[in-house]
Amino acid sequence: MNPTVRLALEEDIGSGDVTSSACIPEAQMAAGRFIAREPLIIAGLGLLDEIYATHVALLKQDGDTCTAGETIATIRAEARLLLERERVALNFLQRLSGVATNARRFADAVAGTRCRVLDTRKTTPGLRHLEKRAAAAGGVTNHRMGLYDAILIKNNHIAAAGGVRAAIDRVSAASHLPIEIEVRTREELREALAAGAGHLLLDNLTPAEAAEWVREIAGRSKVELSGGITLENVRAYAESGADYVSSGAITHSARAVDISFRLELE
């Protein structure tokens, strides 16, 4: 079982669902339906079989659009089992579908540009793999999963290393992974380009400033924009000519969407 699912079940059920055990005969069977209560992009469906430890019939797949009132999945099992695991299932579906729905809005906002939207590491602790999977289901591109699978030299690394050139030289000598480096001034930009940086992170620029910097870079490096990028302004940043825009809001500001579970006794 997925350890995150196991912890969620242990947290909620503990020593047992005292309400369901008291109210419902042990042998009572039931059917249940997961229903979208608003338009959304569904994600997290792969967890349902693990949560219920039995087969769940999926009527949708991660990344699909659901309309209000549409049935997403159905299940048949003991009524006690369905009720004791209902909240955990809904918590995962609502949270992950909220991320996917938010991601789809960002992806749609830059449609027609050559810019791709990236997610970030600003995720719920313990849920990163699930939230990044949901973001990808929504249509954005996963950035690095953690500190271990990609190099991103940020301002504090530059300060600690003694400058842009020193940071790039040290990383190049220590690793064969592609290098991305954050630059905050035109001087740092030119130093990074001179050092052969292939991926630049430009932080906290306005869309107009970003367009100026992109023109100066002139294709010599991939360009990612970050800092203050929201659903309202992401299109303007994408139109600056950057290759990527990244936004923590895709995950950290996603609203849980409304999904319900309807039980019918047999």
Token digits of residue 109: 């906002």
Beta-bridge mates of residue 246: 118
Catalytic residue flag (residue 182): yes
Catalytic residue flag (residue 154): yes
**What is the C-alpha separation between 138 and 101, in angstroms, rounded?**
6
Catalytic residue flag (residue 180): no
Question: Of 33, 154, 165, 170, which residue is the catalytic one?
Answer: 154
Question: Of 87, 128, 220, 222, which residue is the catalytic one?
Answer: 87
Sheet holding 179-183, edge to edge: 116-118, 244-246, 222-226, 199-203, 179-183, 151-153
Question: Of 17, 182, 188, 191, which residue is the catalytic one?
Answer: 182
Tokens 């970030």 — which residue?
A: 120
Query: Dihedral (C-alpha) 235, 143, 161, 213: value to the nearest 10 degrees?
Result: -20
Question: Of 37, 116, 122, 222, which residue is the catalytic one?
Answer: 122
Cα distances from 71 to residues 76, 143, 251, in angstroms, run: 14, 32, 25
Token digits of residue 240: 């600056």
Catalytic residue flag (residue 132): no
Catalytic residue flag (residue 64): no
Query: Strand runs (DSSP E) across the chain, as ranges?
Result: 29-36, 40-41, 57-58, 65-66, 71-78, 116-118, 151-153, 179-183, 199-203, 222-226, 244-246, 259-265
Question: Of 108, 169, 203, 239, which residue is the catalytic one?
Answer: 203
Active site positions, annotated? 87, 122, 154, 182, 203
